[in-house]
Amino acid sequence: MKAKRLRDGKIVEVEKHGDAMIDEDGKVLYFDEICEVDEPDWQQVRIQAAIAVLQGITPEWGNNAKQYAEWAVRVADALVEELQKKGGQEQ
């Protein structure tokens, strides 16, 4: 699971071991040193982004639905990729 280390704000992957968590660097973290971070549902983000792109297309642009759908998915994929690079956090 992902967790945010409270001391430095870094988001790390952790595993539960007894009363503590071990982070990706092998460091022991106790529950009062971290807070759980929910991972976004990236597929849902992708779908919503593609829909938002398509909402900007006006009917007078012609009847190229397949091309517009492909373009909207490419834009959505680029958005998801960029958000994932930033850990889903606002920068």
Q: What is the pLDDT of residues 1-52, one digit of tens each?
A: 888 888 888 888 888 888 788 888 888 888 788 888 777 778 999 999 999 9
Q: What is the mean pLDDT of residues 60-68?
A: 76
What integer pLDDT is reported at residue 91 of this predicted model? Answer: 47
Measured distance CA(1)–CA(15) in Å, rounded:
7
Domain boundaries, the chain: 2-36, 42-85
pLDDT value of residue 75? 94
Pairing of strands 20-23, 2-5: unpaired
20 vs 73, which has greater pLDDT?
73
Q: In whole angstroms, give the CA distance from residue 14 to residue 23.
A: 4
32 by Cβ neighbours in 10 Å (0-12 / 13-18 / 19+) ranks as exposed
How crowded is residue 53: how many other Cβ atoms within 10 Å of its Cβ? Answer: 18
Q: Taking the model in full, what pTM does it have?
A: 0.55
Residue 61: the pLDDT is 64
User: Which neighbouring-strand residues pair with 14?
Assistant: 23
CB 4 within 8 A of CB 32: no
